[in-house]
Structure formats: structure tokens, C-alpha cells
Amino acid sequence: MIEPIDNSQQRQVLARTEHFIVTAEEALERGFDRIPVLFDLSGTTAGMFRAHGRQRELRYNPWIFSKYWDVNFQETVPHEVAHYIVHEVYGFQKVKPHGEEWQALMHYFDADPTVTFKADLEDIPQRRQRTHAYRCDCRDHEVSTTRHNRMLSGKGSYLCRYCNGGLVYCA
């Protein structure tokens, strides 16, 4: 099993994150808040900018960074900072996540505006979501906890793609 990046590497990622925020401030002639940068992301995603209400944060996956240090240090950091800056400039307007505004900022950062890269993540700790048993008219289904909770709360319903029957929980 691979080990996550160490404190020294985390400090390098923090410095690189700060570098791109400062670069954006100079380019756009305005300041940006310094938001939390966390190394708590798990699963198959190397980085993430998340905004929920007034809370904003950058999250990095320390295991993927460890396994693929160079590509993540060079590309994931500016990728996520660009998401943060675009969010700050345009808010929740109809701006595509990897649209022209984001791509322009990536070019300004001298970073590749490629959305993702494919890598072997076999030895990276993965999130495993619990599944729940459901049934339709023709077969059994395994439904994710997210979908299960939506159905229980009445906020979602799902149909079988084969028989078009509604899914029923097998408690």
C-alpha cells in the first residue's frame, strides 16, 4: 500500500497553491481569500475545489499525489486553483466547470487545460459506498446509499432500465 505525501510535500503543495492564487491576483488585479487547503481527499480523485454556501476549500488526495507526484504537483494544483478563481469571479453563474474561463486561466498559469488523466490507482485507498438491495419486476438491484437516501426521503425515484418498473426496497 502506498503512503500519503509527507509534511514537506504538503508544504510544497501549499506553496504552489499560494503561487497560483497570487498569479491570479496579479492577472485579474484583485485579491482572493485564502481558503482552507486540506489533504483529506480519498478515492480516485486527485483534487477538488468545493464551495458550499460561503464555505470554500481546496482538497487534495495525498495518496494519489504520492504515487504520481510530478503530474499532480504540476497539473492538479493549478487545475483546482483555477476552479476556485473562476468560482470567485463568476459565482454560481452559468459557467461550465472546464469552460473557456477556466481554460483561459489554465493557459495563463501555463498549465495543461486537460480535464483528467488516467492512472493506475489499484494501490490507492478507495472509498466504498454501501449498497442497498432493491427489486423491480424483473431482477434485483444494488442501489448506492445516496440513491437509497433520496428514495427514502421522497426526493427521488428510480426505474429499472430493462423493464421500466419502479425499484422497491428489500428491507
Domains of the chain: 7-108 (3.30.2010), 131-169 (no CATH)
CB 129 within 8 A of CB 99: no
Distance CA 170, CA 62 (A): 38
Say if strands 47-52 and 55-60 run parallel, antiparallel, or are unpaired.
antiparallel
Per-residue pLDDT at 115: 67
- 105 — pLDDT class (breaks 50, 70, 90): very high
**Residues 81-102 pLDDT 10s:** 999 999 999 987 778 889 999 9
* Average confidence score pLDDT of the chain: 90
Per-residue pLDDT at 75: 94
Give me the active site residues, please.
80
**Residues 4-32 pLDDT 10s:** 999 999 999 999 999 999 999 999 999 99
pTM above 0.85, yes or no: no
Q: What is the arrangement of strands in the sheet containing 55-60, beginning at the earlier edge strand?
A: 37-38, 55-60, 47-52
Which residues, in sequence order, are bridge partners of residue 38? 59
